[in-house]
Amino acid sequence: MKYTTLAAAALLIIGGSYLSAKATLFDSSDNITVETYSDIFFKLESSPVNIDEIITGASQFANSLCDESIYQEVIGESVNSCKQKFKQSQAQCADFITKNSQAMYTDKVAITLVSEKFINCMTNS
């Protein structure tokens, strides 16, 4: 139940942040630097995305989930415990994902699955 709620909330936040950022994007997507989760998908519109960019975007997304105090309360965590898990597991999870994934991605579904694996690794550590 906890993970179903997490997945549902994550999808809502991902979709909302993607649409929100898409609505305000007026630049060319040729030279997008991935800093947020939604940047991954903007860049994907014009070029492949590498695993490091996916990790960067997914890290930002996971960190933003930690900042949602009501969400953390619903899943039985706190902002501080979430951030502590994030900090302790980020490097190890990034290493695991890098070793067990492709170097480049062109498919939204594959990117979403890799992002979910990375976020799950960080939240289940």
Query: φ, ψ for residue 6 (rounded to 5)?
Result: -60, -45
Please tell me whether residue 104 adopts helix, strand or coil conformation.
Answer: strand
Give residue 60's pLDDT: 95
User: pTM for the whole thing?
Assistant: 0.74
Give residue 29's pLDDT: 45
Could you tell me the residue ranges of all domains in the chain?
Answer: 2-19+35-123
- What stretches in the chain show pLDDT beneath 50? 4-5, 7-8, 12, 19-20, 22-27, 29
How many Å apart are CA 25 and CA 13, to the nearest integer? 18
User: CA-based diameter of the chain, in Å?
Assistant: 42
- Give the pLDDT confidence of 1-37 residue by residue, as tens digits: 555 445 445 554 655 555 445 444 444 545 889 999 9
Strand (E) positions, 3-112? 49-50, 104-105
